[in-house]
Each structure stands twice: as C-alpha cells, then as structure tokens.
Structure 1
C-alpha cells in the first residue's frame, strides 16, 4: 500500500509540474508579444538570488572548513529548494518562448545558426551519447536544461544582449555587496580560516554568498568585466562597485581567479585599445620610454636566470617546498591524484567515457576521494565523462565559438574576448563548460553566448556602445 501511495504522489507531482510548465510557457509566449527581448535576458538575477538563498538556508559554519569540504559546500534548505525549482521553471519557460519566437521570426544574417548546431552537437557528444552508451548509462531530466537554455541564449538580439549585460552588472554588484554585509553581521557564514594565503598577516579566506572562494572569485571577475563593458552612469556608483568587487576578489585569496582577472583585463585592453597602443608605440616622443622598459625587462630576466643558474636561494626554495603551501604547489593541491583517476577512467572507457554521473557520491566512494566533485580540469573531465566522442564534440564547439567570436572581438569593449579568456582560464582547474546540468558555473558561458548572438560582426563605434543606466 505504501508503494502505491508513493508512486501516486510521485506521478501526481510530475503531472502537476507538467501542467505548471505548460501554463508557464504559454504565459511567457503571451507576455513575450509585449516584450520583444523576452525574459531570458534577466537570467542572472534569479541565478544569484538562488545562490544567495542556498547559502543563507544552509546555515553553514566556516569555522569548521573540513566539514564543509566533506559536505561539498552549501546544500539548499527546504525553502531554497523550492526557490531553485521556481527559477528552473522560469528558465525553461523563458527559453521555450525565445525558441518559439526564433522559429517563427524572419531570417537574419546575424543569426548564429552554425554555433547553435555546434552547441547542440557538443551537448550530444558530452551528455546524450555518454548517458546512453557510457560505462554507467543514466537518464535525468536535468540533462536537457543546458541544451534548451543554451540554444535559447543564442537567439538573443542586440538589444537583448545589452539588457542582459546591465542585469548581470546590477545583480552581481548586489550579490557582492550582500556578501560583504554578512562579513560584518555574520562572519562565520562567509569567512573561513586559511593558512596558505599570500596576504601577509591575513589567515582568512572569503567565501561570500557563493559555495567557495574559487566560485566567488570568478563571480567578482565577471562583475568587473560587466562594469568595464557597461559602466554605471554615476561615477561614484561605478567606483564603489569596482572597489567592492576588487576587495571581494582579493579577500577570496583565489590565485586562479587573480590570474584570470589579470588575463581578462589584458585581453580586453589589447582588443579595445589596440589602435591607441599602436599609435603610442609609433610616437617618436615615447620611444625612449619604450626602450627603457625593454632594457629593464631584459636586465631583470638576465639577473633572474643568473640567480637560478648559480643556485642562489636554493635553501629557501627547499624550505618552502617542505611547507604545506609548497606541497600544494608541487601536487597542485592534490589535483594530480584526481587527474590520474580521471585519465584511468578514460582509458577504461575510451569512446563514450563513464557517463554524466561521474563524480556522483557512488563514484567518489568507489575511488575513495569524497571531495572529488569533478576532475579539476575541463579537458580531462570531458575525456573521463564522455570519452573521445565528447572530446571531439567539445573541440568542434570551441572552434565554431572562436570563428563566431573573432569578427566580433571588439564588441562591448572587448567583453566577448574577456569572457572567453575567463572560461579558458577556469578550464585549467575547474569545469566551466559543464553541460550535464545548469547552475551557477554556467553563468559565464550563457552570458558569452548571449553577447555573441547579439553582437554584430563590425566593430562597434562609440555611438553603438551599450547605453548606460
């Protein structure tokens, strides 16, 4: 009898969700008539709200970081789970409205049809085929979320992309501000002890309202990119937002995020200011300064090579490697062990990999590494989860993405280049191109797809830059 009641409740809930989804999509289609941009352009706002709600509902205490490590970060509470489900329903309804609008609208040369096909092919190679033919076949409705939302993101118009950037800027700024407020009100929720940092006399690491420092750091970098591309009209507000984002980024002590931020800034500056840089280098009045900088650089490199070759400082290096920080550097914080496990899994299942359920609790228990929630490298993770088929689909997707991006590299003051650099830098130690689900890690990729879809091939002039609000 209990089994009958259980399945009756399960089927009833599924039917109720289906009816709600039909009404949500229908309502989105009706509302979309009055709003040509659609509602998917607001996707960053519900995402950051869900992230904040998940952290607040978790009741975590970062004074005990080992428990957080074993638990995999903050888990959503009851009300946070329902908020997450409502956000998912919103994403799907808004995406279906955009896809329906795209299907029945007149053809446009700027449509990224090739990128849409490559994205769908990448999803098929990385998710669908491994889920069917991998070492551990599985089926879940969550696998389809990234496909539907990603394709809908690629239907974004130019005005929609500008709106998405403004929404992302505002939402991320409020998210960062909320974390810093909690730093004063409830420090144990957002700050954890840390002994391996680079900030002198500061043995703490900032989590913010995200799941961890390595998740908060990229969000701060993303906020800075949006602030550069679409600055606030008020100078005081713009400077305050930049200062808070930089402060949060520094407090995370996420070295990978620091490097990614520098790389993004250099890439955006090189693209948007390349003409001015060339003019500055050609200016005869600046030539002595250029020669001085080059000479000092050559002298510094020569002194460094001399010091290394002569064995100077070898004792200090050995003492550093004997510390915990040095050990983490040599073993890449233990990631070499996870990489070895992932590559061994790939060799055991070379064509379709293990499947999307890799790194779930069962797999982590089998390998004896409870804290391994992914391979800590995008490319190794693709091989382990989806094999050669997934790797080929992912490579094709990246190539088409680059082909679409290159003629538009100057759009939004080089933001498209900055977003791609951020994703590629994250790929070294994280998995930002995950397509088996849709979560906070998908934020940067979805925003890149929206901006690429809305950007025109010609480099925008000053009058074509995003409007400031």
Structure 2
C-alpha cells in the first residue's frame, strides 16, 4: 500500500513538473516575443548558484590532506540542495527551450544560424550521449542528458545581443562566486582552504578551493572570469581594477599550473589577434625602421639565450634528477592518471563500438577498481572512448575540428575570444572532461560561451552580407576592442 502511494506521488509530481515546464516555457515565449533576446544569460547564475550551494552545505573539510585516488570521499547532499536542484533544472529547461521555440517561430525574421556548428553539436551529443545511453554495454537513460542538448542548441542560436548579455552575466556570476569563496576564509577556513598543501611553488601556502568542487575547478573558473573581464570590462575603472586583482589572486591561490598555463596562452591569443596586425605593420614600416630592428634584435637575443641554456645548462641531468624525485614521478604519471587511462583503454577494448555506457565511473564501478574518487577518465578523449566507444570518439574528433575551424575563422571578428575559449577547452581536455554532456555543471560554462561567441560572429557575418556594399566595405570586426556597438548590438548598453 505504501509503495503504491509513493509511486502515485512520484507520478503526480512528474506530471506537475511537466505542466509547470510547459506553462513556464509558453509564458517565456510570450514575454520575449517582442524582445530581441531571451534570458539565456541567466543560466550562468543558476549553474554557479547550485554549485556554490552544494559545496557550502556539504560540510566538507579539505584542510587535512589532498584528495587521494585510493581514499573514498564522503559526499553529503543537503536537503536544500535536493530541493533546489530540480528547480534549477526546470529553469535551465525553460530558458533554453524558450530560445529554441522563439527561433523556430521567428525563423524568417532572424539571421541564419551556423548550420555546420549546429549539426556538429547535435551529432556530438548523439554519438557521445544518446548512442551509449541506448546501445552501450550498460545502457542507462536519464533526464539529465537532455539539458546539455537543449542548452547547447540554444547557445548555437545565440545572436550578438545574447552573446553580450552572456559574457556580462558570466563575468558577474564568476566574480561573485570567487568573492564568496574569499569571504569565507575567516569564518570557514577548512571549507575553502587546503591548509596542508605542500606541492605549490611557495611551501606552506594553503591551496584555495573556494566554493568550487576542488582547486583545479576554481582555477578554471578564475581564468574564465578574467577572460570575461577582457571581453566585458566593468564600467567603473576602480571596480574593474579591483575585479582584476581579485581574479588574479584567486587564480594564484588555486595553485593550478594548468590554469596558469591556460590563462597565459588564452591571453596571448587575444593579444596576438588584437595587437598582432598593428605590431607587424609597425615592425615593417620602412619609414621608421627603428622599432622593427629593435624587435628583431630582441628576438635574436631570446633565441640565442635559449640555445645557450640548452647547450650549457645541463638540462638533461636536471630533468633526470627532477623525474627521479617524488614530484617528478607524480608529474610523469599525471598524478596517477596513467592508471585511470589504462583502465579506460581496457574498457574500450571490451566494448569497442558503443563503449561501456554512461554509468562508467559511477560508485559501483569505482569501488570495483579500487579508485573511489576517479569520477571520470581525466582526459576527454579517453573518457569519451571508454564511455561511448569508437562512435563517440569519432563524433568528438569531428566536433573538435569544426570548433577549431570556426574559432580560427572568427578569431579576428571576436577579438581573439573564440580562439582563446577554444584553447581553454583544449588544454582542459588533457586532464579533465570539459565536453562531457551527461549533465550540467561549471565545466559547461566555457563550452556554452564558446558556442555563443561563434554563433554571434556567424550571425554578424550573415548580417553584413545583407548590407549594401557601401556599408559592408567599411565594416569593422565587432570585437576589435571590447564588443564595439554594431547595428545588431547597439541596443545593449556597455
């Protein structure tokens, strides 16, 4: 009898949730029917709020030691998180669904969406999520798999206005997220700091995790927040400087070498795209050759210095000594990730076509291999290969190639942001899984921003083709500085 009542309540709740989602989406479509944009930018607030709630209410203590693969982590799900999670999912479903429906209803009034990217994304989701969920060795279907599909599809349909709003919302959400983690240090130091961390550049300096799941994730979010500041600086110059200072402090205290390297390379991409042409013109100016001569001499000195260091710096002996040390051995094994990659490769060999399935690396599987904290394969390609087999791996490679080509194609139009975001995802994919679409989390933010950046650039390119020749000849790249106003984006206040 009790089981019947429970099932009835669950069914009624599911029907009510579906009804609310339908009504919410219909209301959202009606509200935005006369607006040039929807509310997709709110997804960044929603995702980071649920992440912050989950970690703040978990009661964790990360001060004793760093997480080890052979030690089980105790995860506590607070009742408030259990209540808020479905509401956030419903909000994401409504926001993304509204954009898709509105685009379909107004398809003759809007610029054409980048069909290649849209098809590549849908094929990527189908090959890496739908195929293993239905045809994998251990099939498993969940409603969580639908959210990334809808969010990504809505991101591909984004216009220039929605891109601007998205970067502004992501910037604000990430700054608030980082500030909250710093403000908790005096009150809950063991919640946000690893006081026993000893592998940093400065011995004894605690490692900051903030309200992220771990310090590596916080480093990724900090570098993304700084990239958003590059794209959308705060209007108040002193507040903007304070935001930069806080972001750099968080990036440093997270002590993630991958995040440091990624931020350096991403910033270099933006600087090269924005300043590179002017630098080349100045360096090759025959009227004033002094700058070019000095630049060439500086380059020659740098190359000579590197050559001398390689020839006389005893690099081989130093490298050998380093890899013989404990830290060198840890680096050589990618902090034990080589063991995880070996397990992932074995699982792919057992299920070569469609892979193990979505439940790979779940609790029961991790217990069976004795690695309770190995929640994924710690490499995007190896994780996709083991979960989704050759079908998923092929979809991943195709999708990555499409993103790379479009990122390079629209690099100048986006002021280097498309290339910077792609580099951030590519570097992150070496040791993490930022393109995993079996649910939503903080990793999805960079992915969505890249899709919206590429979609908006394609939208602007399509709009410029429709303009008269007199306008198109004088058209400038939209991201030459910081989202310059254009005929498409002039209604958004900077």
**Secondary structure of 1:165 counterpart:** helix
Are 1:287 and 2:308 counterparts? no
Bigger mean CA deviation after superposition, 33-42 or 328-337? 33-42
Residues 59, 76 of structure 2: 8 Å contact kept: no
Residues 436-455 of structure 1 correspond to what in structure 2 (within 5 A)? 436-455=438-457
Deviation at 1:468, TM superposition (A): 6.3
Report if the CA contact (8 A) 1:233-1:468 is conserved: no
1:28 equivalent in structure 2: 28
Q: Equivalent residues in 2 for 1:154-233 (5 A)?
A: 154-233=156-235
1:136 aligns to what SS in structure 2?
Answer: coil
Partner of 1:301: 306
- How far apart, CA to CA, are the structure 1 residues paired with 2:412 and 2:181? 33
1:195-274 map, 5 Å = 195-274=197-276
TM-score by length of 2: 0.89
Paired position in structure 2 for 1:106: 107
Deviates more, 1:186-195 or 1:282-291: 282-291
In structure 1, which of residues 414, 417, 430 is the aligned counterpart of residue 416 of structure 2? 414
- For the 8 Å contact 1:55–1:76, the answer to whether it is kept is no
User: Is the 1:55–1:75 contact (alpha carbons within 8 Å) kept by the matching residues of 2?
Assistant: no
Question: 1:94: how far off?
Answer: 1.1
Secondary structure, in 3 states, of the residue corresponding to 1:185? Answer: coil
- How does 1:368-383 map onto structure 2 within 5 Å? 368-383=370-385
Q: Quick one: distance in 2 between partners of 1:177 and 1:150?
A: 28
1:38 matched residue in structure 2: 38
Corresponding residue number in structure 2 for 1:352: 354
Name the structure 1 match of 2:91. Answer: 90
Q: Structure 1 residues 468 and 230 mapped into 2: Cα distance closer, same or farther (>3 Å)?
A: farther
Cα gap change, 1:39 to 1:209, in 2 (>3 Å)? same
Shift of 1:73: 7.7
Counterparts of 2:83 and 2:155, CA distance in 1: 24
| 1:403 matched to 2:421 | no
Shift of 1:66: 5.6
Q: Secondary structure at the match of 2:158?
A: coil
Contact 1:408 1:459 in 2 (8 A): no
Deviation at 1:109?
4.7
2:373 is paired with a residue of what secondary structure? Answer: coil
Distance 1:37 1:310, change over 3 A: closer
What are the ranges of 5 or more consecutive residues in structure 2 without an aligned counterpart? 462-475
Counterpart CA distance in 2 for 1:74 and 1:278 is: 54
Determine whether 1:464 maps to 2:485.
yes
In structure 2, the partner of 1:64 is 64
Counterpart contact for 1:351–1:389, Cα < 8 Å: yes
Q: CA deviation at 1:290?
A: 2.1
Give the total of aligned pairs.
466
2:201 is paired with a residue whose SS is: coil
Contact in 1 for aligned 2:63/2:196 (Cα 8 Å)? no
Partner of 2:473: none
- The 2-side partners of 1:289 and 1:264 are apart by 26
Cα distance, 1:211 vs structure 2: 0.5
Higher helix share: 1
